Amino acid sequence: MTKPRKPLTHYRALAVVAEHLGWDRCAAITDLSESMLRKMGDPETGREIKLRDAMRLEAVYRQDGGEGSPFFDCFAARLGVDTASADARSCVLKASSMVAKESGEAVAAALDAAGRGDHASKARALEEAKEGLAAMVALVRSLEAETAAA
């Protein structure tokens, strides 16, 4: 079973990138063993990916058609940086679309869990709901930034 990873953490960012690229490809990009990379993606180990490796993975992830910027968003959230301060409207639009996407996935997962009632579907619904909440927080921050700039 996949371990849950909190949204906007480097653990979650690595999981998103590895899901898209594959652990073996991520290991090749970072010159780390797949085992070591998996440990860096496990919140229980306390290990963290180096910024250099995160940047390499993010670059390949984006070139390969990955959606968003998982590591950049994680680091920006940690620093409290508005990732699109130069274009607040664009930031609000992007954040709004992410809320729609993530909350839709959360509702779908919750309905699935209600129908199935098994632990795995409930755990998935919980993770989707957390991702929806993280997207909503990002939208609130974007709106606050735009309001402050006005």
The ranges assigned to domains in the chain are 10-79, 85-149
pLDDT on residue 111: 95
Distance of alpha carbon 124 from alpha carbon 10, whole angstroms: 19
Q: How many CB atoms lie within 10 A of CB 80?
A: 7
Q: What is the pTM of this model?
A: 0.53
Q: Tens digit of pLDDT for each residue in 99-136?
A: 999 999 999 999 999 999 999 999 999 999 998 998 89
pLDDT at 2: 55
Burial of 33 from C-beta contacts in 10 A (0-12 / 13-18 / 19+): exposed
Q: Residue 3 pLDDT more than 60? A: no
